[in-house]
Structure 1
Amino acid sequence: MSNVRVKICGLGTEATLDAALEAGADLVGFVHFPRSPRHLALDAAGRLARRARGRAECVILLVDPDDALLAAAAEAVDPDLIQLHGRESPERVAEVHRRTGRAVMKAVGIATADDLATLPAYAAVADRLLLDAKPPPGATLPGGNGVSFDWDLLAQASLPAGTMLSGGLDAANVAEALARTGLTAVDVSSGVEVRPGEKDPARIAAFIAAARGRV
Structure 2
Amino acid sequence: MTQHRTLVKICGLSSPETLRATIAAGADMAGFVFFERSPRHIDLETARTLGLMAQDRISRVALTVDARDAELDEIVDALAPDMLQLHGKESPERVAAVKARFDLPVIKAIGVATPEDVARASAYRGADVLLFDAKPAPDAAVPGGAGVSFDWNLLRNIGAANWMLSGGLDAENVAGALRVTKAPAVDVSSGVERERGVKDPARIADFIKAVRAL
State whether TM-score is above 0.5.
yes
SS state at 1:98 partner: helix
* 1-structure distance, mates of 2:111, 2:60: 22
SS state at 1:29 partner: strand
Q: Quick one: which of 25, 28, 33 aligns to 2:27?
A: 25
* 1-structure distance, mates of 2:6, 2:212: 6
Residue 34 (structure 1) aligns with: 36
Root-mean-square deviation over aligned CA pairs: 1.4
* 1:32-78 per-position Cα deviation (integer Å, ceiling 9, x unaligned): 10000000012211210110111110001000010101111111111
Residue 160 (structure 2) aligns with: 159
Q: Percent identity?
A: 55
1:1-215 mapped onto 2 (5 Å cutoff): 3-122=5-124, 124-160=125-161, 162-213=162-213
SS state at 1:144 partner: coil
* 1-structure distance, mates of 2:74, 2:105: 16
Matched to 1:28, the amino acid is: A
Asked whether the equivalents of residues 174 and 210 of structure 1 are also in contact (C-alpha less than 8 Å), the reply is: yes
Following TM superposition, by how much is the alpha carbon of 1:2 offset from its aligned partner in structure 2, in angstroms?
Answer: 7.5
Asked whether the equivalents of residues 43 and 77 of structure 1 are also in contact (C-alpha less than 8 Å), the reply is: no
Following TM superposition, by how much is the alpha carbon of 1:157 offset from its aligned partner in structure 2, in angstroms?
Answer: 1.8
Matched to 2:133, the amino acid is: D
* 2-structure distance, mates of 1:69, 1:110: 27
Point out where structure 1 has 5 or more consecutive residues left out of the alignment: none
Following TM superposition, by how much is the alpha carbon of 1:150 offset from its aligned partner in structure 2, in angstroms?
Answer: 0.2
* 1-structure distance, mates of 2:4, 2:121: 27
* 2-structure distance, mates of 1:92, 1:74: 17
SS state at 1:8 partner: strand
Following TM superposition, by how much is the alpha carbon of 1:102 offset from its aligned partner in structure 2, in angstroms?
Answer: 1.2
Following TM superposition, by how much is the alpha carbon of 1:183 offset from its aligned partner in structure 2, in angstroms?
Answer: 0.9
Following TM superposition, by how much is the alpha carbon of 1:136 offset from its aligned partner in structure 2, in angstroms?
Answer: 2.9
Following TM superposition, by how much is the alpha carbon of 1:9 offset from its aligned partner in structure 2, in angstroms?
Answer: 0.3
* 1:163-209 per-position Cα deviation (integer Å, ceiling 9, x unaligned): 11000000000000011001120000000001111100000000000
Asked whether the equivalents of residues 4 and 184 of structure 2 are also in contact (C-alpha less than 8 Å), the reply is: no
* 2-structure distance, mates of 1:109, 1:118: 10
Following superposition, which runs of at least 4 residues in structure 1 exceed 4 angstroms of deviation?
Answer: none
* 1:11-49 per-position Cα deviation (integer Å, ceiling 9, x unaligned): 000000000000001000100100000000122112101
* 1-structure distance, mates of 2:76, 2:84: 8
Count of residues in correspondence between the two structures: 212
* 2-structure distance, mates of 1:142, 1:99: 24
Query: Comparing 22-31 with 134-143, which one deviates more in the overlay?
Result: 134-143
Asked whether the equivalents of residues 9 and 188 of structure 1 are also in contact (C-alpha less than 8 Å), the reply is: yes
* 2-structure distance, mates of 1:211, 1:138: 33
Point out where structure 2 has 5 or more consecutive residues left out of the alignment: none
